[in-house]
Amino acid sequence: MYEVKYTEEQLNKCGISFLRNYARELGGAPKLMNKSELIGYILDIQNKTIVPQRKNSGRKPLSSSGVSYGAFGMVDLKFRDRDAETETFKGTPNAIRGFFERTSDGMGIVGGAAVPVYVSRAFIDRYFLKDGDFIVGKCERAIGGAVVLFSIDEINGSAPEDAAARANFDKARAIYPSVRVSFSAMGAIGKAIDLFCPVGKGQRAVFKLRAGDDEISLAENVVTAFKKEGVKTVACYLNSRPEDGDFLESVCDEAIGTVFVDDSEVHKKTVFKALDRAKNIVENGEDALLILVTLESMQSALGEDFERTVKILFSAAKNTENCKSLSIIALTFSTELFNRFEPFANCMAALDGNALDLSSSYTRRGEIMLSERERAVREKFKEYSGADATQKVKAAIESAKRGEELSAIEKLF
């Protein structure tokens, strides 16, 4: 019997293009059959009612659609031997791990192997598969030569049946962040962030660095702060230095990016793959952070699609009522980019070396995440501004004992 086998109900959900290709993979010659005839033909082949006869003379071999995937734990596919007389396989199916991506014909592909692994529409419909889902399963070479998904063991680390019941993050109602993520481990500047521009789960934030600062170190600090709150972290980097990309992969739960690639379409695909992964984490019941390192590299890589892409990313970040949260934090050195995306963010943090520039830093409705005492300090501080206020706050925090920073700031009034 054939290892990849579909029911009549599953086949009825598939398009005629898939049915023709699948019939060919089984060794058949579908010719000009209509959909109902194709389904009956496939069922007969699967049940061995008929023996398919397909002449390959002059035909191109069945192969992938040309879609290529990055290396997410590449595996070598060594397929089982098939007994020509009994049409049974010896041994066990080949294991596969990789990210799912839907193709233009309504089917899908799992990257992670030396060749693309096709995913049938039956699997997609049964488990509501979405772009960016991480699939662990088994694959098999079909009779026609194409590699197809044979079974699914896990989707995003959970049982496949759980995927059908997951929440739809895109339809979840957005609310303001209410749970603060503490940056106090960063020292004086982190404690200033916690008070004057608090960052919460579900935040859309832009962090501006001073020229010469290390964006990778800041990214590590941000990721560490979110991880302490139990948030899963995903880093997105474009045209990064190889050592920076490797470091981000080591500190984040996942890192998706490119290194020295010139194709803007590859960059765009990478960005949305990272966004899809972050959304899938949220739909799987966990808070997620997507950190963009950096806006300058994204601008260079994406070209004219840069602004539109960043707006799409920012529009996805939100805290929700009935689902978990997706936070997006973008890092930049540019004052121009910092100001350009201010209308789309709800948290702006201008870092001036080891101090927070209070005149350019704020969080919309940030008081939701503050205590009554912290809100009172913030209210009194509104009359102060400029570099003088920034330095006074920095000095007060640095001179205070651990846990007494707020008292030290109160003494400034």
Q: What would the pLDDT profile of 120-150 be if each residue is shown by its tens digit?
A: 888 998 888 988 888 999 888 766 667 888 8
What mean pLDDT comes out for the span 143-164? 83
Q: Which residue has the higher pLDDT, 48 or 128?
A: 128
CA distance 399 to 49: 85
Confidence of residue 31 (pLDDT cuts 50, 70, 90): low
pLDDT score of 331? 97
Greater model confidence, 29 or 64: 29
CA–CA distance, 25 with 62 (Å, rounded to integer): 8
pLDDT at position 56 is 43
Q: What is the pLDDT of residues 35-46, one digit of tens each?
A: 787 888 888 887
The arithmetic mean of pLDDT across residues 287-313, rounded, is: 95
pLDDT interval class at 15 (50, 70, 90) = low
Instruction: With beta carbons less than 8 A apart as the criterion, state whether 331 and 291 touch.
Output: yes
Put simply, whether the predicted model's pTM sits higher than 0.75 gets the answer no
> For all residues of the chain together, what is the average pLDDT?
82
In the prediction, which pLDDT does 93 show? 65
The per-residue pLDDT for 17 is: 65
| Three-class DSSP category at 68 | coil
% pLDDT > 70, the chain: 82
Using the predicted structure, report yes or no on whether residue 381 has a pLDDT greater than 70.
Answer: yes
* More confident of the two residues 47 and 17: 47
Question: Does residue 141 come out as left (phi exceeding 0), alpha (psi in the -120 to 50 range) or beta?
Answer: beta
User: What is the helix, strand, coil percentage profile of the chain, to 5?
Assistant: 40, 20, 40
What secondary structure letter does DSSP report for 134?
E
pLDDT at 76: 41
**The domains spanning 8-163 and 174-410 adopt the same CATH topology:** no
The yes-or-no verdict on residue 62 having pLDDT over 50 is: no
Domain 174-410 bears CATH identifier 3.90.1560.10: no
Q: Which pLDDT does position 205 carry in this prediction?
A: 97
Overall average pLDDT of the 365-373 stretch: 94
Question: Do residues 303 and 264 make contact, with C-beta atoms less than 8 angstroms apart?
Answer: yes
Q: What is the pLDDT of residues 169-191, one digit of tens each?
A: 888 899 999 999 999 999 889 99
**Strands 326-332 and 288-293: what pairing?**
parallel
Looking at the domain covering 8-163, what would its CATH class be? mainly beta
pLDDT, average across residues 164-168: 81
* For the chain, domain boundaries: 8-163, 174-410
- Residue 331 near residue 292 (C-beta atoms within 8 A): yes
* Tokens linked to 79: 């397929």
How confident is the model over 71-115, as pLDDT tens digits? Answer: 333 334 444 455 544 444 455 567 888 889 888 888 898 875 557
Report phi then psi at 326, rounded to 5.
-120, 115
Q: Report residue 37: phi and psi, to 5°.
A: -65, -40
In terms of pLDDT, which residue wins out, 115 or 231? Answer: 231
- Assess whether pLDDT exceeds 60 at residue 360: yes
Res 51 pLDDT > 90: no
Q: How far is 160 from 127, CA to CA, in rounded Å? A: 6
Q: How far apart are CA 46 and CA 31, in angstroms?
A: 18
CA dist., res. 355 & res. 348, Å (int)? 14
Closest CA to 313 of 303, 326, 301, 300: 326
Amino acid 367: pLDDT: 94
pLDDT bin (cut points 50, 70, 90) of residue 34 is: confident
> For position 28, what pLDDT does the model report?
75
Task: Count how many residues are written for the chain.
Answer: 413
3-state SS class at 203: coil
